[in-house]
Amino acid sequence: MEIPPPVLPPSAAPSLIEAAGLTKLYGDFPAVTDLSFSVRAGEVIGLVGPNGAGKTTTLRCLSGIIPPTRGSVQICGHTMGLDPIEAKRCLAFFPDEPRLFDYLTVAQHLTFTARIYNVAHYQETARGLLEELEIADKADKLPGELSRGMKQKLAIACGFLHAPRAIFFDEPLTGLDPLGIRRMKDSIVKRAAAGAAILISSHLLHLLEEVCSHVLILKDGRKIIDGTMDEVRQKFSEVSAGANLEEIFFRATGENKGP
Amino acid sequence: MGRALLYYEWHSRWNRLRARLRRLRQPKYLVGAVVGGLYFYWYVFGALRGRGRAGVTPPALAPEHWALVESLAALVLLVVLLLMWIIPHERAALMFTEAEVAFLFPAPVGRRTLIHFKLIKSQTAILFSALFMTLIGRWGGGHYLFHAIGWWGVLSIVNLHLLGSSFARTLLLERGISNWRRRLFFLGGAGLAAAGVFLWARRALPPPPDFLNARDLSAFTGYAGQLLQSGPLPWLLAPFRWAVAPLFAADAKTLCLALVPVLGIIALHYWWVIRSNVAFEEASVELSRKFADRVAAMRSGNWQAMSKPRKGKRPPFALGPLGWPAVAIFWKNLISAGQFFTGRAWFFLILVTVFAGGFTRSVSQHSGAGAALAILAVSLGVMSLLYGPAILRHDFRQDLRVADILKLYPMPGWQVVLGEVLAPVAILAGAQWVLLILAFLLCPAELGGAPAPLILRIAIALSAALVLPCVDFIALLLPNAAALIFPAWVQLGKDTPRGFETMGQQLILMFGQILVLTLTMLPAGLAGVAAYLIAGWLLGKLMAVAVVSGALAAALVLAAEAAVGVRLLGSVFERFDWSEGSPE
């Protein structure tokens, strides 16, 4: 099945993820500097940048894992610094490595997550997610008995259980097989079409090109450019109209493309 | 090739040492190193210097017990080696790191060289273990050096036997002899030997002493001495006694004589291992991969990877989707603690305790054994207050490495703290209640010469049952506070840090926790005493009520302190920035 091209949401859609002047220092080292952007419902933004650009730090600040040094974050209209519980209630963060509890089975992970997010009647949703992700027959298995891809699927099932409206992915395709990659892309597009705001950090530029409506390029913790793919192309006028994200990336970051 | 392997081993260890020396530039490691070094000096070198001045110190055990202890040590060694043939089921595999597998296995390195490499590598661990055992095991008296040499011999034999038996098991499997047939053979052999010894003892020895009504240990030691030092057992244990003999050498000459058979046994084992023509490469690759997975999992936060669960555990109770999220963390941590911590298991444990206590009380009314057991139960309860919080780590110390996931949860910080601390508190308090039931059932009607009527004993037991969970909560809150406030100083998960510096850090933390615990106990103690005196003054002879009143007041103060602690720690967790406090 072909993935439908990303559809730009109407500009009236509410902004579900907002960063204003986001800055994160590790000691004296600025990991992210004065970053501002927003993601509206239905948008999928690709967060791109070379290693050490501050992508993961940005995602962790946005999802409330680490506090920003300066600036503010709003998730679904709730300010993370002032109302973190309501902000976290409507977000999901998927790190590059699935973080699971070794001693909980697949089913127990979902029971645990349901209680954490107070998801009433979660069983039906959980069953649907497990079936959609093709791990329904692994309900009694421990993470140690699952392959890397299946662990990733379990993490996704837990993350989607409370129907988040702001979703953050950090390298979502790591360890997935081709079918898993296809399903993940479908899932991202489907969630966006259902009104979620999605931010994906990845080095796989062709993936971002397929699923993202917007792109945000970071370098050394600073925003180089953001906007729709066409807007970004226009800003780099020397790149042809049909240039792909890889070419834009190398132009924008000044990285050497190599031989 | 051998030189390349030695080069690798030497430089790996040297670089590791340099890295540890480099981290002493950080004050937290430097302070830890100073404290750890002082402790080590006081404990080890101080004792060694004392011994050096005194020459060979008199044995800690009476000489007439030495032969018995030697025979017991030989018996333990026999059992350990026997278990190597009974318990394992895997094929032979040598543990290599993934890097060693990647570099050595495709390289033109012979199987024998790989075994030699592993044997040389294992010697480092054996030498450290021998040193450690020497330092902690001064029970036999004798010179430290003799002990160290003795332990080196025993550990080398155990290591070689472990390797040799794994090769032999693989050979047996390749010849179609299943694990169960092998186990039956060895268990049958052990059973026959045990039956032979039993029949001989029944015929040749006087009846064993009355275990329930014995007043001291001399009857046991006398009987055990006869059993181990006459009849068939000395013959059966002879090679094992040779192996442990250097541990009991009183002088250099005895040691040298005792070392001859030990070296012979080591040489025989070495010959056995080297001559075994068993393919271990495939299983070793698999083992290395599993080990690397566990290390990676631990580093990424899954401390349970060290004791990876094989199958899912029964949840302690049914967790509904609505309600306090803190209960979910409590539920999760109880599952991580193991299969045993379910309501049903506790119910059966209490039932067994009640029956066992009642039975012991009925059969030992005149011997004092019941009272001794009651004292033991109370002592264990007191010890659990000291050691419980260090042993039960199903809290932040387990979960802090997945702090990023915890911080994602839409929960106020104090609820996360409460959920994290509750599981070890419940387990510790449950264990203490079981001990309390046992102590209550076996408690004599007189305490310290004064009569203790049943109502007073019930009051004391109830008071202890009331106060203990509160004390446990605070005692467990402290290491969790240390983990959140000084994450780089605390051992997280089972990823045990090493060296003087980390030992010193742990000592500083331990003393800090004891100090804070003492300070938090003071107001509760004062409130308890005040309530006891007031109730005693008001109620006159109703001492039981006064005791419970005192306990209630103390428990209330402790609960209030705990609530304040949870709130404070909750705000610490909310501000917690893992990126700034992650340990090296």
Domains and CATH numbers, chain A: 1-90+165-253 (3.40.50.300), 99-163 (no CATH)
- Tell me what pLDDT residue B215 has: 61
C-alpha dihedral, A175 to A177 to A182 to A183, nearest 10°? -80
- Tell me what pLDDT residue B296 has: 58
H helices within B137-176, ranges in order? Answer: 144-174
Q: Do B300 and A97 touch (CB under 8 A)?
A: yes
Q: Do B404 and A97 touch (CB under 8 A)?
A: no
User: Is the pLDDT reported for residue A149 higher than 90?
Assistant: no
> Taking CB atoms and an 8 Å cutoff, what residues of chain A touch B298?
none
Q: Does B325 touch chain A (CB under 8 A)?
A: yes
Q: Domain residues of chain B, as ranges?
A: 62-294, 300-315+327-581
Give the closest residue to B391 by CA, choosing from B494, B501, B516, B500.
B494
- Tell me what pLDDT residue A157 has: 93
Q: Do A65 and B404 touch (CB under 8 A)?
A: yes
Read off the pLDDT of each residue in B255-276 and give the average, rounded to a whole number: 92
| Selected residues 497-516 of chain B with any CB under 8 Å from a CB in chain A | none
> Taking CB atoms and an 8 Å cutoff, what residues of chain A touch B292?
none
Kindly identify which residue of chain A lies nearest to residue B398, measuring between CA atoms.
Answer: A101
- Tell me what pLDDT residue B310 has: 61
CA distances from B316 to B306, B330, B409 (A): 22, 10, 22
CA distance B423 to chain A (A): 15
Q: Which residues pair with A78 in a beta bridge?
A: A75
User: Is the pLDDT reported for residue B133 higher than 90?
Assistant: no
Q: Does B322 touch chain A (CB under 8 A)?
A: yes
Q: Which residues of B502-533 are buried (b: 16+ CB within 10 A; e: fewer)?
A: bbbbbebbeeebeebbeebbeebeebbeebbe
Between helix B369-391 and helix B413-442 the angle, nearest 10°, is: 170
Q: Does B315 touch chain A (CB under 8 A)?
A: yes
Q: Which helix (H) or strand (E) holds B283?
A: helix B281-299
Task: Report the C-alpha gap between B108 and B565 in whole angstroms.
Answer: 61
Q: Do A65 and B407 touch (CB under 8 A)?
A: yes
Give the closest residue to B126 by CA, choosing from B301, B297, B266.
B266
User: Is the pLDDT reported for residue B77 higher than 60?
Assistant: yes
Q: What string of DSSP letters covers B8-29?
A: HHHHHHHHHHHHHHHGGGSHHH
User: Is the pLDDT reported for residue B307 higher than 60?
Assistant: no
User: Is the pLDDT reported for residue A241 higher than 80?
Assistant: no
- Tell me what pLDDT residue B192 has: 94
Give the closest residue to B244 by CA, choosing from B255, B233, B236, B229.
B255
The pLDDT > 70 percentage for chain A reads 91
* Number of alpha carbons in the 13 Å side-chain half-sphere of residue B565: 25
The letter for the amino acid at A240 is S
Please tell me the least confidently modeled range out of B22-26, B166-170, B531-535. B22-26
- Tell me what pLDDT residue A102 has: 84
Q: Do A104 and B407 touch (CB under 8 A)?
A: no
Kindly identify which residue of chain A lies nearest to residue B412, measuring between CA atoms.
Answer: A85
> Taking CB atoms and an 8 Å cutoff, what residues of chain A touch B325?
115-118
User: Is the pLDDT reported for residue A169 higher than 90?
Assistant: yes
**Residues contacting residue B82 through CB under 8 Å, at least 6 positions apart:** B186, B190
Sheet holding A29-40, edge to edge: A29-40, A15-26, A70-75, A78-79
Q: How many CB atoms lie within 10 A of CB B81?
A: 17
- Tell me what pLDDT residue B295 has: 61
pLDDT for B470-523, tens place per residue? 999 999 999 899 888 877 666 555 445 566 677 777 788 788 888 988 999 999
* Mean of per-residue pLDDT scores for chain B: 82
- Tell me what pLDDT residue A242 has: 66
Best mutation target, B291, B307, B399, B407, to test chain A (most A CBs within 10 A): B407
Task: Report the C-alpha gap between A203 and A221 in whole angstroms.
Answer: 16
Out of A99, A118, A119, the one facing B405 most closely (by C-beta) is A99
- Tell me what pLDDT residue A19 has: 93
**Which residue did the predictor score with more confidence, A180 or B140?**
A180
pTM: 0.73
Q: State the count of interchain CB pairs (< 8 A) between A and B.
A: 106
**Residues contacting residue B120 through CB under 8 Å, at least 6 positions apart:** B5, B6, B9
User: Is the pLDDT reported for residue B302 higher than 50?
Assistant: no
CA end-to-end span of chain B:
34
Kindly identify which residue of chain A lies nearest to residue B303, measuring between CA atoms.
Answer: A102
- Map residue B93 onto helix, strand or coil: coil
pLDDT for B352-365, tens place per residue? 888 888 888 777 66
Q: Do B321 and A141 touch (CB under 8 A)?
A: no
**Which residue did the predictor score with more confidence, B263 or A15?**
B263
User: Is the pLDDT reported for residue A256 higher than 70?
Assistant: no
Q: Which residue is associated with the tokens 């010179």?
A: B143
Q: Model confidence at B370, in pLDDT bands (50, 70, 90)?
A: confident
Q: Model confidence at B448, in pLDDT bands (50, 70, 90)?
A: low
- Map residue A224 onto helix, strand or coil: strand
- Tell me what pLDDT residue B55 has: 44
- Tell me what pLDDT residue B427 has: 93
Kindly identify which residue of chain B lies nearest to residue A126, measuring between CA atoms.
Answer: B321
- Tell me what pLDDT residue B303 has: 47
**Residues contacting residue A250 through CB under 8 Å, at least 6 positions apart:** A256, A257
From the number of C-beta atoms within 10 Å of its C-beta (0-12, 13-18, 19+), residue A99 rates as: buried
Best mutation target, B341, B405, B415, B420, to test chain A (most A CBs within 10 A): B405
The pLDDT > 90 percentage for chain B reads 30
Q: Do B321 and A122 touch (CB under 8 A)?
A: yes
Out of A60, A118, A144, the one facing B321 most closely (by C-beta) is A118
Beta strand extents in A132-246 (DSSP E only): 166-170, 197-201, 214-219, 222-228
- Tell me what pLDDT residue B184 has: 93
CA distance A246 to chain B (A): 31
> Taking CB atoms and an 8 Å cutoff, what residues of chain B touch A121?
321
User: Is the pLDDT reported for residue A159 higher than 90?
Assistant: yes
Read off the pLDDT of each residue in B196-209 and give the average, rounded to a whole number: 83
Q: Are A168 and A59 in contact (CB under 8 A)?
A: yes
CA distances from B491 to B383, B496, B560 (A): 21, 6, 28
- Tell me what pLDDT residue B581 has: 43
Read off the pLDDT of each residue in A180-207 and give the average, rounded to a whole number: 89
Q: Do A108 and B408 touch (CB under 8 A)?
A: no
Q: Do A85 and B402 touch (CB under 8 A)?
A: no
> Taking CB atoms and an 8 Å cutoff, what residues of chain B touch A67?
575, 577
- Tell me what pLDDT residue B583 has: 34
> Taking CB atoms and an 8 Å cutoff, what residues of chain B touch A86?
410
Q: Which residues pair with B24 in a beta bridge?
A: none
Read off the pLDDT of each residue in B407-416 and give the average, rounded to a whole number: 93
Q: Which residue is associated with the tokens 């349970």?
A: B304
User: Is the pLDDT reported for residue A95 higher than 60?
Assistant: yes
Read off the pLDDT of each residue in B103-129 and give the average, rounded to a whole number: 84
Out of B312, B320, B405, the one facing A140 most closely (by C-beta) is B312
**Token pair listed for B566:** 């949870």
Q: Do B312 and A65 touch (CB under 8 A)?
A: no
Q: Model confidence at B397, in pLDDT bands (50, 70, 90)?
A: confident
User: Is the pLDDT reported for residue B105 higher than 80?
Assistant: no
Task: Report the C-alpha gap between B315 and B332 in whole angstroms.
Answer: 8
Please tell me the least confidently modeled range out of B108-122, B490-504, B533-547, B557-571. B490-504
User: Is the pLDDT reported for residue B119 higher than 50?
Assistant: yes
- Tell me what pLDDT residue A6 has: 57
User: Is the pLDDT reported for residue B62 higher than 70?
Assistant: no
CA distances from B411 to A111, A163, B151, B570 (A): 16, 17, 53, 10
Q: Do A84 and B309 touch (CB under 8 A)?
A: no
Best mutation target, A25, A65, A170, to test chain B (most B CBs within 10 A): A65
Best mutation target, B394, B495, B579, B580, to test chain A (most A CBs within 10 A): B579
Read off the pLDDT of each residue in A69-80 and give the average, rounded to a whole number: 93
Backbone angles phi, psi at A214, to 5 degrees: -130, 165
Read off the pLDDT of each residue in B72-76 and give the average, rounded to a whole number: 91
Q: Model confidence at A249, in pLDDT bands (50, 70, 90)?
A: confident
| Selected residues 37-66 of chain A with any CB under 8 Å from a CB in chain B | 57, 60, 63-66
| Selected residues 134-193 of chain A with any CB under 8 Å from a CB in chain B | 140-142, 144
- Tell me what pLDDT residue B139 has: 54
pLDDT for B4-40, tens place per residue? 878 888 888 888 888 888 877 877 778 888 888 888 7
